[in-house]
């Protein structure tokens, strides 16, 4: 298992048809920024990493807590009802896309892949955002996106 995170800097072209960069974010730690204008409706990047069952993801999360790794270093994304992708094991950079209640990316699950597409035209220099839309029944996670549409939490209404 490759546990090496992408470093701040350009995201390799093999992961996106657009030039992207990992840099400091005003929202939370690191973010992904467009270096090119991105047209509406285009595939921007795939969320990559180890595919885990829910019990495997739970064990990995608990093990990381025991090892003293911070909770905000968790990069899990649910692919479907049975599989979670651990983005921590990827070097694609998609794991650094931050949450916003007014995202410029949408998530599509296609044939066992988690793809992020542009919802609108994205300007060069703009940070990329996805709505994490955590389930309502999960513990509430505060949101600090700063959008006028902010619902105050990353969970669905």
Residue listed under structure tokens 């703009």: 126
**What is the SS3 string spanning 28-87?**
CCEEEEECCCECCCCEEEEECCEEEEHHHHHHHHHHHHHCCCCHHHCCEEECCCCEEEEH
Tokens of 118: 């542009």
- Please determine, for residue 1, whether its predicted confidence score (pLDDT) is greater than 50: no
pLDDT for 70: 60
Helix (H, G, I), strand (E, B) or coil at 16: coil
Superfamily of 9-130 according to CATH: SET domain (2.170.270.10)
**pLDDT tens-place string over residues 6-57:** 568 999 999 999 999 999 999 888 999 999 999 999 999 999 999 999 999 9
For residue 114, what is the enclosing H or E element?
Answer: strand 113-118
The mean of the pLDDT values for the chain is 90
pLDDT at 7: 65
Collapsing DSSP to helix, strand or coil, 13 comes out as helix
Q: pLDDT at residue 132 above 60?
A: yes
Put simply, whether the predicted model's pTM sits higher than 0.85 gets the answer: yes
Give the domain ranges of the chain.
9-130
- Please tell me the least confidently modeled range out of 30-34, 98-102, 138-142: 138-142
Residue 21: helix, strand or coil by DSSP? strand
Taking the C-alpha atoms of residue 142 and residue 157, their distance in angstroms, rounded to an integer, is: 13
CB neighbourhood size of 93 (10 A): 26
């Amino acid at each position: 298992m490759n546990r090496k995170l992408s470093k701040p800097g350009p995201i390799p072209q093999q992961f996106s048809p657009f030039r992207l960069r990992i840099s400091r974010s005003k929202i939370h730690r690191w973010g992904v920024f467009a270096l090119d204008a991105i047209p509406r409706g285009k595939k921007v990047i795939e969320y990559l990493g180890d595919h885990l069952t829910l019990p495997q993801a739970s064990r990995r999360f608990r093990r990381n807590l025991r090892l003293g790794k911070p909770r905000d270093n968790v990069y899990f994304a649910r692919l479907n009802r049975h599989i979670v992708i651990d983005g921590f094991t990827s070097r694609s950079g998609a794991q650094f896309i931050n949450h916003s209640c007014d995202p410029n990316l949408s998530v599509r699950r296609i044939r066992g892949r988690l793809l992020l597409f542009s919802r609108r035209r994205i300007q060069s220099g703009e940070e990329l955002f996805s709505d994490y839309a955590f389930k309502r029944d999960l513990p509430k996670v505060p949101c600090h996106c700063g959008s006028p549409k902010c619902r105050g939490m990353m969970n669905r209404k």
